[in-house]
Amino acid sequence: MRTDLTTQRPSFLARLPFWCAAALLAAGPAVAAERQVGSYYTAWSVDKGFRLKQFDRSGAADGFTFLAYAFETVYRMPDGGVRCDSGRDIPDKDGNGMRATLDYAHRFPADESVSGAADQPGQALAGNFNQLAQLKARHPQLKILVALGGGEWSRWFPAGAATEQGRRELVASCIDLYVRGNLPKLDGHGGPGAAAGVFDGIDLDWEHPGAADKRNFTLLVEEFRRQLDALGKDSGKHYLLTAAVNSTQEKMQHTEPALYSRSLDWINLMTYDFNGAWKAQGPTGFQSNLYPDPASKDDAPRSVETGVQRFIAAGVPASKIVVGVPFYARGWRGVTATDNGLYQPAQGPGRGFEEGAEEYRTIVARKLPTFYHPVTRQLWTFENGNFWTYDDPRVIGEKAAYVRERKLGGMMSWALDQDDAAFSLSRAMGAAGK
């Protein structure tokens, strides 16, 4: 991590004239805060057999500064307003799902719990929230954010952000529920302040604002900042506010990065999904390459570097840009063998945990032959017509070096449960913070 001169203040300031020392104290730290290293931890990973205990015991958590719990969302309420809500389970349909039991009422047995203690009936906090609290207790440097929205759960943000009163009520409800921790009662769990202290802030995952939302997105971010700061005045704590943002020009044009970034501690820049099976017939291409390839068949080649420079040019400080990496592969099947499948036509999406995608932990276990592209700094596999592109520890290590060299804000990943059992990718990310 970066050294903060505030840790050296007594001896450093003692050698300065009084007026100079006072000015430095008033100005705050002489260097930027540490780089961030973190990941999204999904509520539903519990159903896949993943436990935060695995992350804790691996030692990889020592290199992280944050986790973002995904996802909670906002709902259209009976009175017509849009607010955060919880207290029941709702099947996913039309962006209205809810997983409250997994959040704070699921009871982990002792052998699955971070602390080694089983959840008991009637305790105020159980479920994933309690596991996050236990993880924080073991890793004091770790900050926990609640991620609101996501690809399927962002449908009500435009309505909620459309008016000043709507923004005020939406933000207040989210802070009350997650930061103040006032949870509805559910199966004997929850209650006033039940989750207080679990979340250190909010990650806004509104995917994706449209042209009509441009100003309102900025105003919603500002309202979150205003209310979090007001709460912080009472508690004496700085509450984090971040946002997950698509890195492409197509999506960025509908927002005001120079304005909304002022209210954020950092931006989780989604520098991945550059190519994928939504182009079912190909051509194949890289999904998270560090640099563009002039030889690519894409009319507008995408890359991490392209996205980062786009946001810097738009007025976002480099220190607020946290580069995103995928813990999953994108792929195609029936791919032509020329150039080991790179930039070739395909017959359809690769078969993985979902159409055209496969978890890193699954694909690396296959021990397939890999190919490394020296221009883009991305790798891929090709065997029997199957093409997969993904990041491995080497690729992530090069991105970590890029983050340090460019003095960016850090690295984040989607998603923690997709790493292998040794948390190889998570460990490689840790180099970004050194």
Catalytic residues: 207
| E runs forming strands in 20-109 | 36-42, 66-72, 74-76, 82-84, 89-90, 98-99
Provide the sign of the torsion angle of the four alpha carbons 310, 312, 313, 314, taken in this order.
positive
Residues 6+ apart with CB under 8 A from 254: 208, 209, 210, 211, 213, 214, 217
Q: How far apart are CA 296 and CA 298, in angstroms?
A: 5
Q: How far apart are CA 313 and CA 399, in angstroms?
A: 20
| DSSP three-state, residue 392 | coil
Question: How many residues are listed for the chain in this entry?
Answer: 434
Residue keyed to tokens 């690519």: 296
Q: How far apart are CA 22 and CA 296, in angstroms?
A: 55
Report yes or no: 75 and 156 within 8 Å, Cβ to Cβ: yes
From residue 310, alpha-carbon distances to 261, 269, 297, 354 in Å are: 14, 11, 21, 31
Q: How far apart are CA 118 and CA 134, in angstroms?
A: 12
Provide the sign of the torsion angle of the four alpha carbons 395, 397, 400, 402, taken in this order.
negative
N-term to C-term CA, the chain: 4
